[in-house]
A and B are shown apart, each in its own frame.
Chain A
Amino acid sequence: MRLVRAIGQVALAVLNTVGAVSLFALRGLAALLTGPWFFGQLLRQLSAIGFFSLPVVGLTAVFTGAALALNIYVGGGRFNAEQIMPQIVALGITRELGPVLAALMLAGRVSATIAAEIGAMRATEQIDAMRTLSTDPFRYLVVPRLVAAVIALPLLTVVADTIGIAGGWLVATRFLDFNATVYVRNTVDFIEGWDVVSGLIKATAFGFIVALMGCYYGYTASGGARGVGRASTHAVVAAAMLIFASDYLMSFWFSRL
Protein backbone atom coordinates (compact mmCIF):
# COMPACT_ATOMS: atom_id res chain seq x y z
CA MET A 1 0.00 0.00 0.00
CA ARG A 2 2.76 2.39 0.98
CA LEU A 3 4.66 1.40 -2.14
CA VAL A 4 1.67 2.16 -4.34
CA ARG A 5 1.34 5.54 -2.76
CA ALA A 6 5.05 6.29 -3.23
CA ILE A 7 4.89 5.30 -6.88
CA GLY A 8 1.79 7.39 -7.34
CA GLN A 9 3.50 10.39 -5.78
CA VAL A 10 6.51 10.07 -8.05
CA ALA A 11 4.27 9.73 -11.09
CA LEU A 12 2.32 12.80 -10.07
CA ALA A 13 5.51 14.79 -9.55
CA VAL A 14 6.77 13.77 -12.99
CA LEU A 15 3.46 14.70 -14.63
CA ASN A 16 3.54 17.99 -12.76
CA THR A 17 6.99 18.84 -14.08
CA VAL A 18 6.09 17.81 -17.61
CA GLY A 19 3.05 20.07 -17.47
CA ALA A 20 5.00 22.97 -16.02
CA VAL A 21 7.77 22.66 -18.61
CA SER A 22 5.22 22.49 -21.44
CA LEU A 23 3.50 25.61 -20.16
CA PHE A 24 6.87 27.31 -19.86
CA ALA A 25 7.70 26.40 -23.47
CA LEU A 26 4.32 27.62 -24.70
CA ARG A 27 4.81 30.86 -22.83
CA GLY A 28 8.19 31.24 -24.50
CA LEU A 29 6.61 30.63 -27.90
CA ALA A 30 3.86 33.17 -27.24
CA ALA A 31 6.44 35.74 -26.12
CA LEU A 32 8.52 35.02 -29.22
CA LEU A 33 5.55 35.55 -31.53
CA THR A 34 4.23 38.73 -29.92
CA GLY A 35 7.39 40.70 -29.10
CA PRO A 36 8.87 43.12 -28.20
CA TRP A 37 12.15 41.48 -29.18
CA PHE A 38 15.53 42.22 -27.70
CA PHE A 39 17.91 41.76 -30.60
CA GLY A 40 20.90 42.98 -28.63
CA GLN A 41 20.35 40.15 -26.16
CA LEU A 42 19.95 37.68 -29.01
CA LEU A 43 23.34 38.66 -30.46
CA ARG A 44 24.93 38.44 -27.03
CA GLN A 45 23.51 34.94 -26.50
CA LEU A 46 24.44 33.82 -30.01
CA SER A 47 28.04 34.63 -29.26
CA ALA A 48 27.94 33.11 -25.77
CA ILE A 49 26.06 29.94 -26.75
CA GLY A 50 27.28 29.50 -30.31
CA PHE A 51 30.66 31.01 -30.93
CA PHE A 52 32.22 30.26 -27.56
CA SER A 53 31.11 26.63 -27.78
CA LEU A 54 33.17 26.12 -30.93
CA PRO A 55 36.41 25.01 -29.21
CA VAL A 56 34.80 22.35 -27.05
CA VAL A 57 32.58 21.07 -29.86
CA GLY A 58 35.51 20.97 -32.29
CA LEU A 59 37.73 19.09 -29.87
CA THR A 60 35.05 16.53 -29.08
CA ALA A 61 34.29 16.01 -32.76
CA VAL A 62 37.87 15.45 -33.92
CA PHE A 63 38.58 12.82 -31.28
CA THR A 64 35.27 11.07 -31.78
CA GLY A 65 35.73 10.97 -35.55
CA ALA A 66 39.22 9.52 -35.13
CA ALA A 67 38.17 6.89 -32.61
CA LEU A 68 35.14 5.96 -34.68
CA ALA A 69 37.34 5.44 -37.73
CA LEU A 70 39.67 3.10 -35.84
CA ASN A 71 36.83 1.05 -34.41
CA ILE A 72 34.97 0.71 -37.68
CA TYR A 73 38.23 -0.29 -39.35
CA VAL A 74 38.69 -3.07 -36.81
CA GLY A 75 35.03 -4.10 -36.99
CA GLY A 76 34.95 -3.98 -40.78
CA GLY A 77 38.10 -6.11 -40.89
CA ARG A 78 36.21 -8.98 -39.29
CA PHE A 79 34.36 -9.49 -42.54
CA ASN A 80 36.80 -8.00 -44.99
CA ALA A 81 34.90 -4.76 -45.39
CA GLU A 82 37.45 -2.20 -44.21
CA GLN A 83 37.06 -0.24 -47.39
CA ILE A 84 33.62 1.00 -46.46
CA MET A 85 35.02 2.65 -43.34
CA PRO A 86 34.85 6.23 -44.75
CA GLN A 87 31.20 5.82 -45.60
CA ILE A 88 30.22 4.42 -42.20
CA VAL A 89 32.20 7.11 -40.37
CA ALA A 90 30.51 9.83 -42.40
CA LEU A 91 27.07 8.31 -41.89
CA GLY A 92 27.55 7.85 -38.16
CA ILE A 93 28.78 11.36 -37.68
CA THR A 94 26.26 13.23 -39.79
CA ARG A 95 23.18 11.31 -38.71
CA GLU A 96 24.00 10.68 -35.09
CA LEU A 97 27.24 11.67 -33.42
CA GLY A 98 27.62 15.20 -34.77
CA PRO A 99 24.29 16.48 -33.47
CA VAL A 100 24.25 14.39 -30.28
CA LEU A 101 27.79 15.23 -29.19
CA ALA A 102 27.40 18.92 -29.96
CA ALA A 103 24.14 18.89 -28.02
CA LEU A 104 25.66 17.09 -25.03
CA MET A 105 28.56 19.51 -24.87
CA LEU A 106 26.05 22.35 -24.98
CA ALA A 107 23.98 20.70 -22.26
CA GLY A 108 27.04 20.66 -20.03
CA ARG A 109 28.23 24.11 -20.94
CA VAL A 110 25.13 26.12 -21.77
CA SER A 111 22.25 24.58 -19.79
CA ALA A 112 24.27 24.92 -16.61
CA THR A 113 25.28 28.49 -17.33
CA ILE A 114 21.78 29.58 -18.25
CA ALA A 115 20.28 27.96 -15.15
CA ALA A 116 22.91 29.54 -12.91
CA GLU A 117 22.58 32.98 -14.49
CA ILE A 118 18.81 33.14 -14.41
CA GLY A 119 18.65 31.37 -11.04
CA ALA A 120 21.02 33.91 -9.49
CA MET A 121 18.95 36.73 -10.95
CA ARG A 122 15.88 35.15 -9.37
CA ALA A 123 17.62 34.76 -6.00
CA THR A 124 18.81 38.38 -5.89
CA GLU A 125 15.43 39.80 -7.01
CA GLN A 126 16.83 40.99 -10.34
CA ILE A 127 13.94 39.34 -12.14
CA ASP A 128 11.44 41.16 -9.92
CA ALA A 129 13.34 44.39 -10.48
CA MET A 130 13.25 43.88 -14.24
CA ARG A 131 9.50 43.47 -14.17
CA THR A 132 9.05 46.70 -12.23
CA LEU A 133 11.17 48.38 -14.91
CA SER A 134 8.42 47.56 -17.45
CA THR A 135 10.53 44.88 -19.12
CA ASP A 136 9.20 41.35 -19.39
CA PRO A 137 11.95 39.03 -18.06
CA PHE A 138 10.54 36.29 -20.25
CA ARG A 139 11.14 38.27 -23.39
CA TYR A 140 14.42 39.74 -22.19
CA LEU A 141 16.02 36.64 -20.67
CA VAL A 142 14.28 33.49 -21.88
CA VAL A 143 13.34 34.13 -25.51
CA PRO A 144 16.79 35.31 -26.69
CA ARG A 145 18.40 32.22 -25.13
CA LEU A 146 15.89 29.85 -26.70
CA VAL A 147 16.23 31.41 -30.14
CA ALA A 148 20.02 31.62 -29.92
CA ALA A 149 20.36 27.95 -29.02
CA VAL A 150 17.96 26.87 -31.77
CA ILE A 151 20.03 28.81 -34.31
CA ALA A 152 23.45 27.97 -32.89
CA LEU A 153 23.21 24.21 -32.44
CA PRO A 154 22.59 23.33 -36.12
CA LEU A 155 25.49 25.59 -37.08
CA LEU A 156 27.70 23.96 -34.46
CA THR A 157 26.60 20.60 -35.81
CA VAL A 158 27.79 21.52 -39.30
CA VAL A 159 31.17 22.29 -37.76
CA ALA A 160 31.09 19.09 -35.69
CA ASP A 161 30.22 17.01 -38.80
CA THR A 162 33.04 18.54 -40.79
CA ILE A 163 35.63 18.23 -38.06
CA GLY A 164 34.47 14.74 -37.11
CA ILE A 165 34.88 13.50 -40.67
CA ALA A 166 38.23 15.28 -40.81
CA GLY A 167 39.26 13.37 -37.67
CA GLY A 168 38.41 10.04 -39.31
CA TRP A 169 40.19 11.08 -42.48
CA LEU A 170 43.28 12.05 -40.52
CA VAL A 171 43.55 8.67 -38.81
CA ALA A 172 42.75 6.75 -41.99
CA THR A 173 45.37 8.52 -44.07
CA ARG A 174 48.07 8.76 -41.36
CA PHE A 175 47.87 5.32 -39.82
CA LEU A 176 45.69 3.07 -41.96
CA ASP A 177 47.17 3.54 -45.43
CA PHE A 178 44.01 4.97 -46.93
CA ASN A 179 44.49 7.23 -49.89
CA ALA A 180 43.50 10.78 -48.88
CA THR A 181 41.71 11.58 -52.12
CA VAL A 182 39.89 8.27 -52.35
CA TYR A 183 38.70 8.63 -48.76
CA VAL A 184 37.19 12.01 -49.45
CA ARG A 185 35.64 10.86 -52.73
CA ASN A 186 34.09 7.81 -51.15
CA THR A 187 32.62 9.99 -48.44
CA VAL A 188 31.26 12.59 -50.83
CA ASP A 189 29.83 10.02 -53.24
CA PHE A 190 28.15 8.12 -50.46
CA ILE A 191 26.66 10.78 -48.21
CA GLU A 192 23.19 11.92 -49.17
CA GLY A 193 21.64 15.28 -48.44
CA TRP A 194 19.17 13.64 -46.08
CA ASP A 195 21.95 12.24 -43.89
CA VAL A 196 23.11 15.76 -43.13
CA VAL A 197 19.67 17.37 -43.06
CA SER A 198 18.20 14.81 -40.66
CA GLY A 199 21.13 15.49 -38.33
CA LEU A 200 20.46 19.20 -38.51
CA ILE A 201 16.77 18.68 -37.74
CA LYS A 202 17.82 16.76 -34.65
CA ALA A 203 20.22 19.55 -33.72
CA THR A 204 17.43 22.13 -33.90
CA ALA A 205 15.33 20.12 -31.47
CA PHE A 206 18.33 19.58 -29.18
CA GLY A 207 19.08 23.31 -29.19
CA PHE A 208 15.57 24.00 -27.97
CA ILE A 209 15.90 21.36 -25.26
CA VAL A 210 19.24 22.65 -24.02
CA ALA A 211 18.05 26.24 -23.63
CA LEU A 212 14.60 25.30 -22.38
CA MET A 213 15.97 23.20 -19.52
CA GLY A 214 18.43 25.90 -18.49
CA CYS A 215 15.77 28.60 -18.57
CA TYR A 216 13.09 26.54 -16.84
CA TYR A 217 15.22 25.41 -13.93
CA GLY A 218 16.84 28.82 -13.57
CA TYR A 219 13.57 30.71 -13.73
CA THR A 220 11.89 28.51 -11.15
CA ALA A 221 14.91 28.31 -8.83
CA SER A 222 14.32 29.06 -5.17
CA GLY A 223 16.36 28.86 -2.01
CA GLY A 224 19.39 31.09 -2.54
CA ALA A 225 22.81 29.87 -3.64
CA ARG A 226 21.95 26.24 -2.93
CA GLY A 227 18.86 26.55 -5.06
CA VAL A 228 20.95 27.94 -7.90
CA GLY A 229 23.37 25.02 -7.69
CA ARG A 230 20.50 22.57 -7.69
CA ALA A 231 18.92 24.32 -10.67
CA SER A 232 22.17 23.95 -12.63
CA THR A 233 22.47 20.25 -11.89
CA HIS A 234 18.84 19.56 -12.72
CA ALA A 235 19.09 21.49 -15.95
CA VAL A 236 22.11 19.50 -17.17
CA VAL A 237 20.68 16.12 -16.20
CA ALA A 238 17.25 16.84 -17.65
CA ALA A 239 18.72 18.24 -20.87
CA ALA A 240 20.99 15.21 -21.37
CA MET A 241 18.18 12.73 -20.73
CA LEU A 242 15.78 14.54 -23.05
CA ILE A 243 18.47 14.69 -25.74
CA PHE A 244 18.97 10.92 -25.63
CA ALA A 245 15.26 10.15 -25.54
CA SER A 246 14.32 12.53 -28.33
CA ASP A 247 17.32 11.36 -30.36
CA TYR A 248 16.02 7.83 -30.28
CA LEU A 249 12.49 8.96 -31.15
CA MET A 250 13.66 11.06 -34.06
CA SER A 251 16.01 8.36 -35.37
CA PHE A 252 13.16 5.89 -35.22
CA TRP A 253 10.86 8.26 -37.00
CA PHE A 254 13.41 9.22 -39.68
CA SER A 255 14.18 5.55 -40.36
CA ARG A 256 10.55 4.99 -41.35
CA LEU A 257 10.34 7.88 -43.78
Chain B
Amino acid sequence: MRGQWIETLMGFVVLALAAAFLIYVVRVGGFEGVRRGYEVSARFGDVGSLAPGATVSVAGVKIGTVSRVSLDPKTYLAQVDLAIDPEIKLPADSSAKITSDSLLGGVHVAVAAGGSPEDLKPGGEIENTQGAVDLFGLIGQVVRPQPSGDPANED
Protein backbone atom coordinates (compact mmCIF):
# COMPACT_ATOMS: atom_id res chain seq x y z
CA MET B 1 0.00 0.00 0.00
CA ARG B 2 3.02 2.29 0.06
CA GLY B 3 3.21 5.03 -2.57
CA GLN B 4 -0.40 4.56 -3.53
CA TRP B 5 -1.69 7.80 -2.11
CA ILE B 6 -2.29 9.33 -5.53
CA GLU B 7 -4.50 6.43 -6.54
CA THR B 8 -6.29 6.57 -3.21
CA LEU B 9 -6.89 10.28 -3.70
CA MET B 10 -8.15 9.71 -7.24
CA GLY B 11 -10.56 7.08 -5.94
CA PHE B 12 -11.99 9.51 -3.44
CA VAL B 13 -12.22 12.27 -6.07
CA VAL B 14 -14.27 10.01 -8.34
CA LEU B 15 -16.52 9.01 -5.45
CA ALA B 16 -16.97 12.66 -4.46
CA LEU B 17 -17.86 13.73 -8.01
CA ALA B 18 -20.41 10.92 -8.37
CA ALA B 19 -21.92 11.77 -4.99
CA ALA B 20 -22.08 15.48 -5.87
CA PHE B 21 -23.95 14.80 -9.12
CA LEU B 22 -26.32 12.39 -7.36
CA ILE B 23 -27.13 15.03 -4.76
CA TYR B 24 -27.73 17.56 -7.52
CA VAL B 25 -30.04 15.10 -9.30
CA VAL B 26 -32.02 14.43 -6.15
CA ARG B 27 -32.35 18.18 -5.48
CA VAL B 28 -33.36 19.23 -8.98
CA GLY B 29 -35.01 16.12 -10.33
CA GLY B 30 -36.76 16.52 -7.05
CA PHE B 31 -37.86 12.93 -7.14
CA GLU B 32 -41.23 14.54 -7.52
CA GLY B 33 -41.85 11.44 -9.55
CA VAL B 34 -43.88 10.84 -6.43
CA ARG B 35 -45.97 14.01 -6.78
CA ARG B 36 -46.09 13.66 -10.52
CA GLY B 37 -49.00 15.98 -10.82
CA TYR B 38 -52.46 15.30 -12.18
CA GLU B 39 -53.27 13.76 -15.50
CA VAL B 40 -55.42 15.22 -18.22
CA SER B 41 -55.86 13.94 -21.72
CA ALA B 42 -56.24 15.45 -25.15
CA ARG B 43 -57.05 13.92 -28.51
CA PHE B 44 -55.31 15.00 -31.68
CA GLY B 45 -55.83 14.18 -35.31
CA ASP B 46 -52.09 13.87 -35.76
CA VAL B 47 -49.34 14.02 -33.14
CA GLY B 48 -46.40 13.91 -35.54
CA SER B 49 -43.23 12.93 -33.69
CA LEU B 50 -44.59 13.70 -30.22
CA ALA B 51 -43.22 11.20 -27.69
CA PRO B 52 -43.53 10.58 -23.95
CA GLY B 53 -41.34 12.95 -21.99
CA ALA B 54 -42.04 15.91 -24.27
CA THR B 55 -42.70 19.23 -22.61
CA VAL B 56 -46.16 20.65 -21.93
CA SER B 57 -46.06 24.43 -21.61
CA VAL B 58 -48.25 27.46 -21.15
CA ALA B 59 -46.95 30.66 -22.69
CA GLY B 60 -43.59 28.93 -23.17
CA VAL B 61 -43.25 27.94 -19.48
CA LYS B 62 -43.04 24.22 -18.75
CA ILE B 63 -45.97 22.99 -16.64
CA GLY B 64 -45.72 19.23 -17.25
CA THR B 65 -44.76 16.42 -19.57
CA VAL B 66 -46.39 14.06 -21.99
CA SER B 67 -46.78 10.76 -20.12
CA ARG B 68 -48.35 8.55 -22.79
CA VAL B 69 -49.21 8.58 -26.47
CA SER B 70 -51.71 5.98 -27.71
CA LEU B 71 -54.38 5.45 -30.33
CA ASP B 72 -58.06 5.68 -29.45
CA PRO B 73 -59.35 2.50 -31.12
CA LYS B 74 -62.84 3.93 -31.75
CA THR B 75 -62.14 7.30 -33.22
CA TYR B 76 -58.66 6.63 -34.62
CA LEU B 77 -57.48 9.78 -32.96
CA ALA B 78 -54.20 9.98 -31.04
CA GLN B 79 -54.85 9.97 -27.33
CA VAL B 80 -52.20 11.96 -25.45
CA ASP B 81 -51.99 11.88 -21.65
CA LEU B 82 -50.42 14.90 -20.03
CA ALA B 83 -48.98 15.05 -16.51
CA ILE B 84 -49.50 18.59 -15.22
CA ASP B 85 -47.85 20.31 -12.26
CA PRO B 86 -50.43 20.22 -9.39
CA GLU B 87 -49.81 23.90 -8.63
CA ILE B 88 -51.13 24.91 -12.04
CA LYS B 89 -54.92 24.93 -12.48
CA LEU B 90 -56.00 25.08 -16.10
CA PRO B 91 -59.39 26.58 -17.07
CA ALA B 92 -61.81 23.96 -18.41
CA ASP B 93 -61.94 25.57 -21.85
CA SER B 94 -58.16 25.62 -22.42
CA SER B 95 -56.88 24.50 -25.77
CA ALA B 96 -53.84 22.38 -26.65
CA LYS B 97 -51.69 22.59 -29.74
CA ILE B 98 -48.73 20.56 -30.93
CA THR B 99 -46.01 22.91 -32.07
CA SER B 100 -42.46 22.53 -33.02
CA ASP B 101 -39.99 23.58 -30.41
CA SER B 102 -38.20 26.66 -31.60
CA LEU B 103 -35.06 25.94 -29.63
CA LEU B 104 -34.40 22.29 -30.33
CA GLY B 105 -36.51 21.56 -33.38
CA GLY B 106 -38.49 18.86 -31.55
CA VAL B 107 -42.19 19.04 -30.82
CA HIS B 108 -44.03 19.86 -27.63
CA VAL B 109 -47.57 20.53 -26.45
CA ALA B 110 -48.45 24.20 -26.02
CA VAL B 111 -51.54 24.87 -23.93
CA ALA B 112 -53.43 28.15 -24.26
CA ALA B 113 -55.38 28.95 -21.10
CA GLY B 114 -59.06 29.64 -21.61
CA GLY B 115 -61.35 32.02 -19.74
CA SER B 116 -63.77 29.65 -18.00
CA PRO B 117 -64.19 30.06 -14.22
CA GLU B 118 -64.25 26.26 -13.90
CA ASP B 119 -60.94 24.34 -13.65
CA LEU B 120 -60.03 21.28 -15.64
CA LYS B 121 -60.44 18.32 -13.25
CA PRO B 122 -57.78 15.62 -12.91
CA GLY B 123 -58.62 12.97 -15.49
CA GLY B 124 -60.46 15.53 -17.59
CA GLU B 125 -59.98 16.19 -21.26
CA ILE B 126 -58.83 19.22 -23.17
CA GLU B 127 -61.43 19.42 -25.91
CA ASN B 128 -59.96 22.13 -28.01
CA THR B 129 -56.94 20.71 -29.80
CA GLN B 130 -54.82 21.36 -32.82
CA GLY B 131 -52.65 18.53 -34.12
CA ALA B 132 -49.20 18.55 -35.59
CA VAL B 133 -48.58 20.33 -38.82
CA ASP B 134 -48.26 17.94 -41.76
CA LEU B 135 -44.72 17.51 -42.91
CA PHE B 136 -45.44 18.66 -46.41
CA GLY B 137 -47.25 21.72 -45.18
CA LEU B 138 -50.06 20.91 -47.59
CA ILE B 139 -52.87 21.38 -45.19
CA GLY B 140 -51.52 24.11 -43.08
CA GLN B 141 -53.37 24.57 -39.89
CA VAL B 142 -56.40 22.37 -39.46
CA VAL B 143 -58.63 22.80 -36.46
CA ARG B 144 -60.26 19.59 -35.57
CA PRO B 145 -64.04 19.89 -35.64
CA GLN B 146 -65.67 19.77 -32.23
CA PRO B 147 -67.41 16.55 -31.33
CA SER B 148 -71.10 17.37 -31.22
CA GLY B 149 -73.33 17.28 -28.17
CA ASP B 150 -70.61 17.59 -25.60
CA PRO B 151 -71.89 19.67 -22.69
CA ALA B 152 -68.45 20.50 -21.34
CA ASN B 153 -67.76 22.51 -24.44
CA GLU B 154 -70.71 24.83 -24.28
CA ASP B 155 -69.94 28.39 -23.43
Interface residues of A, Cβ cutoff 8 Å to B: 51-52, 54-55, 57-58, 77, 79-84, 87, 158-159, 162-163, 165-166, 169, 177, 180-182, 184-190
Contacts and interface: CB of A to CB of B under 8 A. Distances in A.
A158 B19 CA distance: 11
B53 A58 contact: no
Contact of A184 (B7, B28, B54): B28
Nearest to A186: B53
Task: Count chain B CB atoms within 10 A of each CB in A83, A158, A188 and give the residue with the most.
Answer: A83
Instruction: Give the size category of B's interface with A.
Output: 35 or more
Contacts, number: 89
Chain A contact surface mostly: helix
Given A163-B14, A188-B31, A189-B33, 12 more contacts: A51-B8, A52-B11, A54-B11, A54-B14, A81-B51, A81-B106, A83-B101, A83-B104, A166-B18, A187-B29, A188-B33, A189-B29
23 contacts: A52-B8, A52-B11, A54-B10, A54-B15, A55-B7, A58-B14, A77-B105, A79-B49, A80-B106, A82-B106, A83-B101, A83-B104, A84-B106, A163-B17, A163-B18, A165-B21, A169-B21, A182-B55, A184-B24, A184-B28, A188-B25, A188-B30, A189-B65
B77 to A, nearest CB: 22
7 tightest Cβ-Cβ pairs between the two chains A and B? A188-B29, A58-B14, A83-B106, A55-B10, A54-B11, A166-B21, A54-B14
A162 B36 CA distance: 23
B103 A177 contact: yes
A184 B15 CA distance: 20
B11 A82 contact: no
B94 interface: no
Contact of B49 (A52, A54, A81, A169): A81
A196 to B, nearest CB: 12
B71 interface: no
Contact of A80 (B10, B13, B107): B107
Interface in B90-134: 100-101, 103-108
